[in-house]
Structure 1
Amino acid sequence: MADKRFAVLIDSDNISAKYVECILDEMTKYGVITYRRIYGDWTSKQTNKWKKELLENSITPIQQFSNTAWKNSTDSALIIDAMDILYTGNVDGFCIVSSDSDFTRLASRLRESGMNVIGMGEEKTPRSFRAACNVFTILEVLLNQNEDELMEEGLAAKADSEEVSLVDAEKAGEVHSIEKNHGVIEEQLIKNYISSIITENENRGKNTVLAEIGNRLVKKYSDFDVRNYGYSFLSKFIEEMGCFELLKDGKLVSVRIKDNRISKEELDEFIINCVKTNKKNGIELATLGQKVHGNFDTFEVKDYGYATFAKFIQSISQLEIKINRAKKKIVCMSKFI
């Protein structure tokens, strides 16, 4: 099967030259780069750092004069070129490298035409542009990964000739420490989504394979990348969440939820006592939920087969849910006990 062909279009106004090798290396995962173009005002001193990189990496500079102060004409040139390339039919996808939300509509339009759109930008890139791409990669993560690899190679080479002191190793760790990424998806959201995938498959009587989780995470969160969390492999990332276990059958790896559930009896007893404490007045459903989560930090209603906390409460025969005058849900002891 032939490699997919991509056009890499770079906005020099929003991207530093230090990322160029990371960008091109990352694109080898997706296919062959047939167009390498970068847009900017090459008469400006700000683009001087790019000029060496253009020659060494065979990137074609597209001149776009800044005719008006504070107006970014580079965006228009990149967008027009992207549409021209689209209509030639010579590529299977685009890589748009920018941290600017102005390319959100372009990414959406290219996807509507059946193109695979890879977005790359810095951590400051707005969520709108990230979501418009099939896949979005944070450039700082790629750069840190390359630096870590170089550091490890340097330490390994040094170890061959002499023993690396603990002080050296600590200094290397300090120099190459990765700052916390901003704008990445919260790990708890990832965890909840993986749980829902597994539960959905279990309801259909099928196992959940690791590859399916990876594919669905990227489809839901275009900027999901395990490297954002300091991991190289999805399997290790999921395994260290602590609530899932991986089962290997030859080359096939499946994922299931660990049974760390608190017993239903213990939960029922705690909830009933909370309601009894409030006597006839009962307790607001939301407040009760907070109490349960505060006392049992691993509690998730989905682990017990319920979609909502209200449904979980209704499963306890001693309790009932009423609506008060303020239209709030109140949990009370059942009159039929």
Structure 2
Amino acid sequence: MAKDIRIALLIDCDNVSYRSAEGVLEELSKYGKVNVRQAYGNWKSEQLKGWEEQLHPLAIKPIQQFAYTSGKNATDSAMIIEAMDLLYGGNVDAFALMTSDSDFTPLVMRLLAEGKLVFGFGEKKTPMPFVKACSQFIYTENLEKDDETQTEGDALAKRKVPRAKLRQDAELVKLLRTAVEQSADEDGWSHLGRVGQYISNNTSFSPVNYGYKKLSDLIRASELFSVQMRNDNSVVYIRDARTR
């Protein structure tokens, strides 16, 4: 994935915590430049006080959205309109939607149909249709920091899923083994980069949801695979540890 892609971050402040905002931006910086940062909500609401304190330090533009009709989420509509304007403006390569609302699932599907990457960030209450629709989805609880001095790595380390639990996760084990099998060369070994590409093409999986910064870290922690370093230790190959 190119490191210079332009990303638009749109935040539904009604449905996600401000505590993970910095972590989300740090995560997105791995993939490109977040050149659009907009947060939507009714800024007269006391519930958004925590978000207000994040806007200036993180260079996020607040977009005022009044609740014109009781029971209707005007924030959703405003975000969808902005996403479509950005899509047709042609100035962004990928979208990041920070929300726990499944109402955005059709928008994700539309953006994907236009060939755009869609990074999803939401709380663990986020419905699965939205989670699975995204190119990659990360639960924001994994990106929250306890204080201003804590790094993303420190926050993840506290949430690392141990080896035993990784191996007990049948869905995870099946995903990893299938990806390795489908990416294998004739000798049975799989280039880790191709394994990661297979996973990203077929699921919204992210190692961050298990407390690991990189796929290679999770692979090693699981001990489900043999690991072989090639090309002066610059390239990682893996194979199912059950293979002899």
TM-score (norm 1): 0.62
How far did 1:193 drift?
3.0
CA gap of 1:187–1:147, structure 2 versus 1, over 3 A, is: farther
- Please list the CA deviations of residues 177-196 of structure 1 after superposition, one character each: whole Å capped at 9, or x if unmatched: 5498xxx9x73223223333
Q: Is the 8 A contact 1:131 1:221 kept in 2?
A: yes
Tell whether 2:222 aligns with 1:221. no
CA distance in 2, matches of 1:31, 1:197: 25
How far did 1:144 drift?
5.2
Which residue of 1 is the match for residue 213 of structure 2?
232
CA distance in 2, matches of 1:31, 1:98: 20
CA distance in 2, matches of 1:133, 1:47: 26
CA distance in 1, matches of 2:146, 2:53: 23
SS in structure 1 at match of 2:144:
helix
- Please list the CA deviations of residues 63-103 of structure 1 after superposition, one character each: whole Å capped at 9, or x if unmatched: 11112222211100110111011111111111111000000
How far did 1:239 drift?
2.9
TM-score (norm 2): 0.83
Which residue of 2 is the match for residue 252 of structure 1?
235
- Please list the CA deviations of residues 129-153 of structure 1 after superposition, one character each: whole Å capped at 9, or x if unmatched: 1122111111111115988945998
Task: Please list every run of 5 or more consecutive structure 1 residues that lacks an aligned counterpart in the other structure.
Answer: 154-175, 262-337
Q: Is the 8 A contact 2:145 2:152 kept in 1?
A: no
- Please list the CA deviations of residues 205-261 of structure 1 after superposition, one character each: whole Å capped at 9, or x if unmatched: 563111122222232220x22232233342342233333210111212111122478
Q: Is the 8 A contact 2:11 2:99 kept in 1?
A: yes
CA distance in 2, matches of 1:235, 1:179: 14
Query: Per residue, is there more helix in 1 or in 2?
Result: 1
CA distance in 2, matches of 1:253, 1:84: 41
Q: Percent identity?
A: 37
Moved over 6 A (4+): 145-148
CA gap of 1:146–1:221, structure 2 versus 1, over 3 A, is: farther
CA distance in 1, matches of 2:4, 2:15: 29
Asked which structure has the greater CA Rg, the reply is: 1
SS in structure 1 at match of 2:120:
strand
Q: Is the 8 A contact 2:9 2:96 kept in 1?
A: yes
Tell whether 2:189 aligns with 1:207. yes
Instruction: Look up the equivalent residue of 2:194 and give its one-letter code.
Output: E
Which residue of 2 is the match for residue 275 of structure 1?
none
SS in structure 2 at match of 1:123:
coil
CA gap of 1:253–1:116, structure 2 versus 1, over 3 A, is: same
CA distance in 2, matches of 1:146, 1:86: 36
Residue among 179, 188, 191 paired with 2:173:
191
- Aligned residue pair count: 234
CA distance in 2, matches of 1:20, 1:253: 32
CA distance in 1, matches of 2:206, 2:3: 26
CA distance in 1, matches of 2:193, 2:153: 29
Q: What is the root-mean-square deviation in Å for CA atoms of aligned residues? A: 3.0
Greater RCO structure (CA 8 Å; 6+ sep): 2
CA distance in 2, matches of 1:91, 1:259: 44
Q: Is the 8 A contact 2:122 2:139 kept in 1?
A: yes
CA distance in 2, matches of 1:179, 1:213: 21
